[in-house]
Amino acid sequence: MKLPRLLQPSNSTGVIAEKKALAYLRKQGLTLLHQNYYCRFGEVDLIMLDEDTLVFIEVRYRKNGDFGGALASINQTKQRKIIKTASHYLTQLTSEPYCRFDAIALNDSDNTPLWVKDAFQA
Q: Consecutive 10-residue runs of the chain (122 residues): their mean pLDDT?
A: 53 84 97 96 97 96 69 88 96 93 86 89 86
Model pLDDT, residue 88: 96
Model pLDDT, residue 19: 93
Residue 4 in domain = no
The helix/strand/coil state of 31 is strand
Model pLDDT, residue 68: 64
* CA Rg value for the chain: 14
CATH number of the domain encompassing residue 114: 3.40.1350.10
Taking the C-alpha atoms of residue 117 and residue 108, their distance in angstroms, rounded to an integer, is 21
The number of folded domains in the chain is 1
Domain membership of residue 72 as a residue range: 10-120
Residue 32 in domain = yes
Taking the C-alpha atoms of residue 59 and residue 102, their distance in angstroms, rounded to an integer, is 9
Residue 3 in domain = no
Residue 2 in domain = no
Model pLDDT, residue 9: 58
